[in-house]
C-alpha cells in the first residue's frame, strides 16, 4: 500500500516539525524495542554516551529542540534495522557498538529511528497492518493524527530526514546502520533537484546494483541502482572494493554508467595513490559534493569479519581512512553512512573487537570529513 500523505515540511512550524520528528526518534540505543529486563542496562548506556546533562525522564523532543540549531554542522542519526538484509541479520546492533566505542557523543546525536523489526518499507504494508502498528506506536495521539504517520523503518527514516532538513537546512548527517538498505532513505532526499555536481563514493564488496531483488525494490541489494539512476549515470557513482559479483566490471560499467575499482586491481595500491585515483575521477566529472556510503564489508574480512557477508581480499583500513580524509579535503561531504557492522556475528571475541575498532576508525575520520571545509589542494599522505 502507498505511504500516508503528509504535509510538506516547509509548510510546518518549528513546533510541528519537532512534534512529528519526536514520534519517529528515540534516544541513542533505544531504537530497538527492549524487553523490560534489559531496560536498566540500556538506560545506563544511553546516559554514559550522552552525558550527565541528559535526563532519562525528559522528553526526547526537548533534546531534539536543543541540538537542532543553526550552529550544528553535522549530527548522528542511527537506523537500527537489518530487515532489508538478504543473507544474515545482526547489523541492527551496529549503532550500539559504534557509539559504545566512541564513548561519548562527538557531535549532536539525534538518536535512533524506532524500528519495528518485522517491517521494512511502507509499500509492503496492508492498510490493516499499518493501522495496527500506528495504534501500538502512538496511542497518545488522536486516531486521525497517528493514522497519517509512516511506521516502517524506511518510511520513518525518510520522513525524519526531510523534517531535519526543514529544521536545519544543510545539516550533514552521519547515519549509522543497520544493513545497507537504510542508506536509501537518508540519501534519497539529497538526490532530488540539481544533482549535476553530486557524486556518491561507495565502499563495498558487492555492487548493490539490482533494480529489485526477488521483487523487493528497496533493500540492501538495490539502493545503489536507485542512487545511480537519480544521478543520471555519468560515472558519478564510484564503487570501490567490489569483489563478489555475478557479473564482471564491464557489465556494470557499460550497462549502468557507474565506475568501479575492484579489489583485485587496487589491493596493492598505496592509500594515497588510491585516494588520488578517486579524486581525479570525480573531479573530471564535475563533482563538487560527495555522499560517502561505507559498507564495512568493503574492508577485508581480517579487519571487518563481524558483518553479514565478510569477504577476503578487500580494502585495508588505511586505504579507506585515507580516501575519506582526502575526499573531505577536496569536496563538500554532504552526508555519510557506516553500515553492516554486526558485532554479534564475530566468530570469536577477537574478530568482533577488531571489527568494532575498524568501525570506530571509520566513524572518527568520517565525522572529520563532514565537519571540514574543502580546500583547493589536499595532502594525500
Can you give the pLDDT at residue 377? 47
Total Cβ atoms within 10 A of residue 368: 16
User: Which tens digit of pLDDT belongs to each residue from 195-227?
Assistant: 999 999 999 999 999 999 999 999 999 999 999
| pLDDT of 135 higher than 60 | yes
Task: Name, in order, each residue with C-beta under 8 angstroms of 265's C-beta and a sequence gap of 6 or more.
Answer: none
User: How many angstroms separate the CA atoms of 58 and 263, rounded?
Assistant: 48
DSSP result, 143-198: HHHHTTS--SHHHHHHHHHHHHHHHSTT-EEEEEESSGGGHHHHHGGGGSS--TTE
Assigned domain for 381 exists: no
Residue 124's nearest CA partner among 33, 218, 226 is: 218
Dist. CA 131–CA 139, nearest whole Å? 11
Residue 329: inside a domain, yes or no?
yes
Q: Give CA–CA dist 29/36, Å, rounded.
A: 14
Lowest mean pLDDT among 200-209, 227-236, 347-356, 364-373: 347-356
Residue 3 has pLDDT above 50, yes or no: yes
Residue 258 predicted with pLDDT over 70: yes
Residue 290 lies in a domain: yes
Residue 333 DSSP class: E
Asked whether residue 244 is assigned to any structural domain, the reply reads: yes
Strands (E), the chain: 25-26, 74-79, 109-113, 172-177, 198-203, 237-242, 259-262, 289-295, 332-339
Domain containing 24: what range?
Answer: 9-371
C-alpha distances in angstroms, 135 versus 2, 24, 83, 148, 149? 18, 14, 21, 11, 11
Burial string for 214-236 (b: 16+ CB within 10 Å, else e) reads eebebbbbbbbbbbbebbeebbb
Q: Kindly compute the dihedral angle of the four CA atoms of residues 236, 242, 248, 253, in this order, to the nearest 10 degrees.
A: 0
Whether 376 maps to a domain, the answer reads: no
pLDDT given at position 381? 41
Q: Do the domain assignments include residue 344?
A: yes
HSE-up of residue 120 (Cα within 13 Å, Cβ side) = 18
Mean pLDDT (the chain) is: 94
Quote the CA–CA distance of 147 and 276 in Å, as a whole number: 50
Among candidate residues 148, 358, 381, the one with its CA nearest the CA of residue 275:
381
**Global pTM value:** 0.95
Give the pLDDT score at 55: 86
Residue 379 lies in a domain: no
Question: What is the edge-to-edge ordering of all strands in the sheet holding 237-242?
Answer: 25-26, 109-113, 74-79, 172-177, 332-339, 289-295, 198-203, 237-242, 259-262
In a domain, 192, yes or no: yes
Per-residue confidence band for 165, with pLDDT thresholds at 50, 70 and 90:
very high
Quote the number of domains for the chain.
1
- Tell me, what's the pLDDT at 37? 64
> Which CATH number is 227's domain given?
3.40.800.10
pLDDT per residue over 278-300, tens digit each? 999 999 999 999 999 999 999 99
Q: Which of 325, 76, 290 shows the shortest CA–CA distance to 191? A: 290
Whether 42 contacts 24, CB under 8 Å: no
Amino acid at each position: 500500500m502507498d505511504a500516508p500523505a503528509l504535509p510538506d515540511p516547509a509548510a510546518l512550524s518549528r513546533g510541528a516539525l519537532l512534534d512529528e520528528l519526536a514520534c519517529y526518534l528515540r534516544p541513542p540505543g533505544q531504537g530497538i524495542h527492549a524487553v523490560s529486563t534489559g531496560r536498566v542496562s540500556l538506560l545506563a548506556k544511553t546516559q554514559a554516551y550522552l552525558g550527565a546533562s541528559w535526563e532519562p525522564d525528559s522528553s526526547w523532543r526537548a533534546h531534539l529542540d536543543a541540538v537542532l540549531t543553526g550552529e550544528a554542522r553535522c549530527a548522528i542519526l542511527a537506523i537500527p534495522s537489518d530487515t532489508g538484509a538478504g543473507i544474515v541479520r545482526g547489523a541492527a546492533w551496529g549503532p550500539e557498538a559504534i557509539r559504545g566505542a566512541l564513548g561519548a557523543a562527538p557531535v549532536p546525536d539525534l538518536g535512533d529511528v524506532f524500528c519495528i523489526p518485522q517491517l521494512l518499507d511502507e509499500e509492503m504494508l496492508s492498510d490493516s497492518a499499518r493501522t495496527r502498528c500506528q495504534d501500538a506506536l502512538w496511542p497518545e495521539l488522536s486516531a486521525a493524527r497517528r493514522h497519517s504517520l509512516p511506521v516502517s523503518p524506511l518510511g520513518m527514516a525518510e520522513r525524519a530526514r526531510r523534517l531535519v532538513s526543514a529544521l536545519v537546512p544543510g545539516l550533514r548527517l552521519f547515519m549509522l546502520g543497520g544493513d545497507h538498505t537504510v542508506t536509501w532513505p537518508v540519501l534519497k532526499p539529497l538526490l532530488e533537484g540539481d544533482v549535476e555536481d553530486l557524486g556518491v563514493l561507495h565502499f563495498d564488496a558487492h555492487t548493490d546494483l539490482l533494480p529489485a531483488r526477488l521483487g523487493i525494490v528497496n533493500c540492501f541489494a538495490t539502493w545503489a541502482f536507485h542512487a545511480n539512476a537519480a544521478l543520471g549515470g555519468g560515472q558519478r557513482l564510484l564503487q570501490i572494493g567490489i569483489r563478489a559479483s555475478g557479473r564482471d566490471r564491464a557489465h556494470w560499467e557499460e550497462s549502468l554508467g557507474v565506475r568501479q575499482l575492484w579489489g583485485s586491481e587496487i589491493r596493492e595500491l598505496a592509500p594515497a595513490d588510491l585516494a588520488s585515483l578517486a579524486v581525479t575521477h570525480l573531479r573530471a566529472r564535475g563533482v563538487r559534493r560527495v555522499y560517502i556510503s561505507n559498507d564495512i564489508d568493503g574492508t577485508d574480512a581480517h579487519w571487518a569479519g563481524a558483518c553479514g557477508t565478510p569477504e577476503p581480499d578487500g580494502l585495508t583500513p588505511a586505504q579507506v581512512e585515507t580516501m575519506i580524509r582526502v575526499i573531505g579535503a577536496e569536496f563538500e561531504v554532504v552526508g555519510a553512512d557506516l553500515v553492516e557492522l554486526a558485532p554479534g556475528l564475530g566468530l570469536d571475541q577477537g574478530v568482533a573487537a577488531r571489527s568494532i575498532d575498524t568501525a570506530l576508525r571509520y566513524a572518527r575520520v568520517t565525522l572529520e570529513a563532514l565537519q571540514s571545509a574543502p580546500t583547493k589542494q589536499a595532502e594525500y599522505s
